Amino acid sequence: MTRENPADLLPELCVLGTAVTGLLTGSFLPRTRQWIVAVLCGTGLVAGLVTAGLAARRADLTTFDAFMLDPLTHVTRIVVTAATLLVIGLAAGPLRGHRRESEFHTLLMLAALGTIVLGAASDLLVLVAAYLLAGIPGYVLAGFGKDAPGTEAALKYYLMGAFLGILMLAGVTLLFGLGRGTSYETLAAGLGTAPGGAVAVGVVLLLAGLMFKAGAVPAHFWVPDVTEGAPRVVAAFVTTVPKIGAFAALYRFAVQALPPGRDDWPLLVAVIAAATMTLGNLAAFAQRNVRRLLAYSTIGQAGYLLVPIAMAGRTDLAEPALLFYLAGYAVTNLGAFAAVIAVGRDDLLAYTGLARRSPLLAVSLVVCLLGLVGTPPTAVFVGKLLIFGAALDGHYTWLAVAAAVNSVASVFYYLRWIVPMMRRRDGGGERRPAPSARWIAYAAAGGSLVLGIGAGIPLAIG
Amino acid sequence: MNLLGRLLPAVPLTTGALLLTGRFTVGRRRLDPAAPAAAVLALAATLGLAVAAALARPAVRFPLFGRLPAGLAVDGLSAALIVTVAAVSLAVVVFAAGEFGADESRARFFGLMLVFTGAMLVTVTATDLAVLLMGWEVMGAMSYALIGFWWRDPGRVGSADVSFLTTRAADLGLYFAAGAALAGTGSLDLAGLAAGRGHWPDLIAAGAVLAALGKSAQLPFSFWLSRAMDGPSPVSALLHSATMVAAGAYLLLRLGPLLTATGWAATLVAWAGALTALLLGAVALAQRDLKQLLAASTCAQIGFMVLAAGAGAVAGGTAQLVAHAAVKSLLFLAAGTWLSALGTKDLGELHGAARRYRLVGVTFGIGALALAAVPPLSLWATKDAVLAAALADSPALYAVGLAAGLLSAGYAGRALIAVTRPTGAAARGATGRHGTRRLGPLERLPLPVLALGAAVLGVLALPPVDGAWRDLLGAGGEPAASPAELAVSGALALVVLAVTWTFVRRGVRARAAWTAPALHWLHLERLARTLVARPVFALAQALARFDDRVIDGGVRVAAATGRRAAALADHRVEVRVDGLVDAVGRGARWLGAAARRPQTGQVHTYYAQAAVLLAVLILIVLLVR
């Protein structure tokens, strides 16, 4: 008897309902009052956050045969809704009075919904649907500015997503045939007896789509181009939120769909992880555009996040490491983007003298950047610690070493950004940074510190 | 009783310390005028206390370092000495109060004199080696400060250095003796030193004799007394008579039982004294400088006391000490008077000095005749008492002592004749230039008193007083000089005086080559420099070189090695490490550039790369399986 209680999906329903309501409301509202949609969306997200928090206290269960309600889902829900809330806060300034403001928020909500479903799905077909739901609003958002770079970014994003989505569908088809089902439960039972080579091909093809969402090698190409071309708020969103769902889905697939005892998965993901973090960090070295720099930085972070995926099922540290890192990464990365939005310039030189111009913003940015490096006492530091621990615990020492070396190397490009901020010369950024973005930056930096210092509390609960 | 024993040294010591430290609190300007009076009063009080103590015989006992018995006590020997010390010091300080004008640093001078006297009092009343050493050392230090009193003159400071270093080097013997006493008898008590077990008494005696000979300027340490003449005349008067040099003789007299107990030390001491008396008598005879003559004569006269200590004649030796203190302080004060009045102390230039200053001349004459042991003056009787004991010990010792006595008559005669001869033509100009100074009453006052002492103190060694004297000192069984000995020595002294007078009248001069060693104090200082100072310096320099080259060199080599290693690291290793770092940086840059190459911005290349990479991943998975 399958459980089919809609109340189990209350957070998702909140987000969906807000999206639909927002779209309808926005259609009837004059342009000057479209901010009501933003408030509506914010309210919906808060409601989703609250219901997700309440749901997290319940025991694990499967609902509608395709949704797992377990800590992974709970954290995905909470982090995605919270991150989306932050993005709405970031959007308040740039999109104030925009002619398509309500559409922006509706798309944002739908993408968030797709991301949550991505992380919660325990069926390949739902996964594909979630992939599309999380992806298509994102493509539209990338081109939201209707300008040349945005259009190019949207097109590239879409084309990459379409290509890798087709590969993913091929992989799903293959696994469906081999495992005689799409449910993870069925797959876990069926794939064990299927020919291993064919399963491996199917898994790699499935990974293609999820790597696209995660922004990892070999599907990372869209990340720098979209981050640079799309509006800044969108860039903050697409480099942060979809990843959360993608990594949750990857972890869930590894733990629940793959038959136990397959040792090619850790190797496969570890290779991808090492390649991703190395490529991201190396490519970030000489960037002069802070958005491209952050884009490559997110690729590097995706590489770190793949480490617990590779260690899934091999060590108990993997799940807390992944979840904590996801939360820490989301808040820190959004903080960095918030600072970029507040300053309003992409050129690295524009940040010269920021510490004099707006000290608090500079401090927030420094906290976020050092957080991305993994400096104590920020949240990412704790996450990184857990990740290294997971790699060592799973007997992948070389992966831990690679991650450590990459962390050290990453200091270089973050410092290239931080150091000029402390100089006297004025780089000429925004005189009065956008207030909402500024406050979001402060909040994100503070949140990163709080999450890092109080790391014991969520880890103890989880 | 105890209070008396404590007050006796405390009065001069405290007054002296106050005078010395008061310069820094009250100031020289206000303290200096009061200093002479304070010193005279303090010493007058001290003399009163000394007399009282000599009669009352107080004894102070206190534990030292927690358990060692120590103390100050006045017995017969101490009684004789404290009265002598106090009286002579008073006389000298009264003289100095007249001589030292306002241009001198009087508070410092009288302060030092008082501490000097107080230290001597501590030394002669101490009942144990530790307290004795305290007084002994303070006295040595004060002698240094007093000899170098005119410290702006480097020569005088050099003399103070020589004196201090010499006595101080010998003093180490007393520390050695104290250590040996502690090890051998478990106590530092002076009376118990002879009772030590085994060879400890020998070691104690060796150390004590060394220290005493040094302090008393006996051979071979005599030269320091020559250098000590550079101090002010009152200092010489005090240092040569009742303090300092007398301390050595006192120590030997005090340790008589110990010297006897060892068997060899008494003989050694006796011969050291006799030879010093003889040789330094010759030295005195050869001197052309009045103060140098008197200094050498001090050594010689102290030699008789040391001889007495060695021969066991405590009564005779003490009588000699007391009488000599009066004689020598008198002579030095007179010499000092002429030095300040006439500006010279050269025997050849002092002709007629006694005639110009009658009182000084008469008293000096009495002192010189006493020094010559002319009957019935003091040293005649005391010396014969000593010689009688020497005769009982060994005839050879007696012969040497007698010869030394004849020499004393010779040099005393030379000095006396030099100052009493009519003024020579050569010297008239010089004296005319300088002889304008009048003597003050304070300078005159002590001279007759001391002259009286010099004349009559011989009674201590003559019947009927000598019996009481021996009882006082607890030396009942000592041989007394027979009337024949007294008569012969008195006659010989007169004969020698006459011969001296004749020689001087005729202008007889000994060949310079013969007198040169005596004139230069037997070259003792040069010998000490050659035999002791130079080897010590050479050793020090060798050690310094060792320190420089080996120890310091080792440190420097270590440092140089470190620098060389650093240079090596800088040139060889650093370049490579640096190069490595550079290479890593360049490599990282190159890799960073390479990592951005795939990012062409063209979707078809992205497609191709993604497809190829996925194929590679599939291949990896398939191959690894």
Amino acid at B63: P
Among A56-70, A283-297, B135-149, B316-330, the range scoring the smallest mean pLDDT is A56-70
3-state secondary structure of A92: coil
Question: What stretch of H or E contains B63?
Answer: strand B59-64
- The CA distance from B604 to B182, in Å, is 108
- What is the mean predicted confidence (pLDDT) over B2-26? 86
- pLDDT score at A429: 56
Residue percentage of chain A with pLDDT more than 70 = 98
Interface residues on B facing A, Cβ-Cβ cutoff 8 A: 588-589, 591-596, 598-599, 601, 603, 606-607, 609-610, 612-614, 617-618, 620-622, 624-625
How near does any CA of chain B get to the CA of A435, in Å?
Answer: 34
Question: What stretch of H or E contains A286?
Answer: none
Contacts of A59 (CB under 8 A, 6+ apart): none
All residues of chain B having their beta carbon less than 8 Å from the beta carbon of residue A203 are 621
- pLDDT score at A16: 93
CA distances from A295 to A134, A158, A221, A333 (A): 19, 17, 10, 10
Per-residue b or e along A119-130, where b marks 16 or more CB atoms closer than 10 Å to that residue's CB: bbbbbbebbbbb
At residue A317, φ and ψ (nearest 5 deg) are: -75, -20
pLDDT band at A431 (very low <50, low <70, confident <90, very high): low
Question: What stretch of H or E contains A99?
Answer: none
Task: Give B600's Cβ-side CA count (13 Å radius).
Answer: 10
Residue percentage of chain A with pLDDT more than 90 = 52
Query: Which two structure tokens, joined as six digits, stand for B174?
Result: 């007393």
Is the per-residue pLDDT at A133 higher than 80? Answer: yes
Q: Specify which residues B395 forms β-bridges with.
A: none
Q: A301 burial class (0-12, 13-18, 19+ CB within 10 angstroms)?
A: buried
Note whether B68 and B130 are within 8 A (CB). yes
Q: Rounded to 5 degrees, what angle do the CA atoms B162, B166, B172 make?
A: 145
Query: Which two structure tokens, joined as six digits, stand for A378?
Result: 């920020």
Is the per-residue pLDDT at B432 higher than 50? Answer: no
- The CA distance from A397 to B127, in Å, is 87
Among A154-168, B63-77, B147-161, B356-370, the range scoring the smallest mean pLDDT is B63-77
Residue of A nearest to B597 (CA): A283
- pLDDT score at A78: 92
For the CA atoms of chain A, what is the radius of gyration? 21
Residue of A nearest to B603 (CA): A156
Portion 282-311 of A in contact with B at CB < 8 A: 282-286
- What is the mean predicted confidence (pLDDT) over A370-376? 87
- pLDDT score at A306: 93
Q: Please give the mean pLDDT across all residues of chain A.
A: 89
Question: What stretch of H or E contains B61?
Answer: strand B59-64
pLDDT band at A430 (very low <50, low <70, confident <90, very high): low
At which residue do the structure tokens 């939360």 appear? A327
- pLDDT score at B437: 64
Q: Determine which of B581, B586, B589, B599 to mutate to test the interface with A (most A C-beta atoms within 10 Å).
A: B599
- What is the mean predicted confidence (pLDDT) over B341-364? 82
Question: What stretch of H or E contains B367?
Answer: helix B358-371
Is the per-residue pLDDT at A276 higher than 90? Answer: yes
Q: By the CB < 8 Å criterion, does A159 face chain B?
A: yes
Is the per-residue pLDDT at A302 higher than 90? Answer: yes
Residue percentage of chain B with pLDDT more than 70 = 97
User: Using one digit for the tens of pLDDT, what is the confidence trace for B575-591?
Assistant: 777 888 888 888 888 88
- pLDDT score at B433: 44
pTM of the model: 0.57
Establish if A406 belongs to a structural domain: yes
Amino acid at B42: A
Amino acid at B73: A
Note whether A186 and A179 are within 8 A (CB). yes
- Cβ count near B197 (within 10 Å): 10
Is the per-residue pLDDT at A318 higher than 70? Answer: yes
3-state secondary structure of A375: coil
At residue B126, φ and ψ (nearest 5 deg) are: -65, 140
- pLDDT score at B90: 92
pLDDT band at B376 (very low <50, low <70, confident <90, very high): confident
All residues of chain B having their beta carbon less than 8 Å from the beta carbon of residue A284 are 592
E runs forming strands in B134-227: none
- The CA distance from B407 to B570, in Å, is 82
DSSP state of B377: S
Q: Rounded to 5 degrees, what angle do the CA atoms B295, B297, B299 make?
A: 75
Query: CA A306 from chain center: how many Å?
Result: 12
- The CA distance from A441 to A366, in Å, is 11
Query: Angle of helix A196-214 relative to helix A290-310, nearest 10 degrees?
Result: 150
ipTM above 0.90, yes or no: no
Task: Give A161's Cβ-side CA count (13 Å radius).
Answer: 25
- What is the mean predicted confidence (pLDDT) over B307-313? 88
Q: Please give the mean pLDDT across all residues of chain B.
A: 85
Is the per-residue pLDDT at B423 higher than 50? Answer: yes
- Cβ count near B433 (within 10 Å): 10
Query: Which two structure tokens, joined as six digits, stand for B597?
Result: 């190459």
Amino acid at B578: D
- The CA distance from A167 to B563, in Å, is 66
User: Using one digit for the tens of pLDDT, what is the confidence trace for A188-217?
Assistant: 888 888 888 888 899 999 999 999 999 998
Establish if A210 belongs to a structural domain: no
Contacts of A20-23 with C-beta under 8 Å, sequence gap 24+, read A20/A106, A22/A102, A22/A105, A22/A106, A22/A109, A23/A102, A23/A103, A23/A106
Strand-pair category, B59-64 with A61-63: unpaired
Establish if A336 belongs to a structural domain: yes
Based on the structure, what is the number of domains in chain A?
A: 1
Domain extents in chain B = 1-127, 231-504, 528-616
Q: Could A264 and B624 be called an inter-chain contact, meaning their C-beta atoms sit closer than 8 Å?
A: yes
- pLDDT score at B431: 44
Establish if A370 belongs to a structural domain: yes
CA distances from B223 to B22, B160, B276 (A): 35, 12, 12
How near does any CA of chain B get to the CA of A218, in Å?
Answer: 5
At which residue do the structure tokens 């309600």 appear? A69
- The CA distance from A345 to A366, in Å, is 16
Q: Could A205 and B614 be called an inter-chain contact, meaning their C-beta atoms sit closer than 8 Å?
A: yes
Is the per-residue pLDDT at B230 higher than 90? Answer: no
Q: Could B614 and A204 be called an inter-chain contact, meaning their C-beta atoms sit closer than 8 Å?
A: yes
The distance in angstroms from the start CA to the end CA of chain B is 115
Query: Which two structure tokens, joined as six digits, stand for B248?
Result: 């050595």
- pLDDT score at B426: 45
Among A406-420, B245-259, B397-411, B465-479, the range scoring the smallest mean pLDDT is B465-479
Residue range(s) defining the domain that contains residue A397: 263-462
- What is the mean predicted confidence (pLDDT) over B376-389? 87
Is the per-residue pLDDT at B197 higher than 80? Answer: no
Is the per-residue pLDDT at A351 higher than 60? Answer: yes
- pLDDT score at A297: 92
Note whether A309 and A390 are within 8 A (CB). no
Is the per-residue pLDDT at B428 higher than 60? Answer: no
- pLDDT score at B183: 85
- The CA distance from B353 to B357, in Å, is 6
Q: By the CB < 8 Å criterion, does A195 face chain B?
A: no
Residue of A nearest to B624 (CA): A264
Amino acid at A306: L
Contacts of A124 (CB under 8 A, 6+ apart): A172, A175, A176, A182, A183, A184, A187, A206, A257
Note whether A264 and B567 are within 8 A (CB). no
Q: Specify which residues A69 forms β-bridges with.
A: A61
At which residue do the structure tokens 């050569």 appear? B426
- The CA distance from A357 to A122, in Å, is 50
DSSP state of B569: I
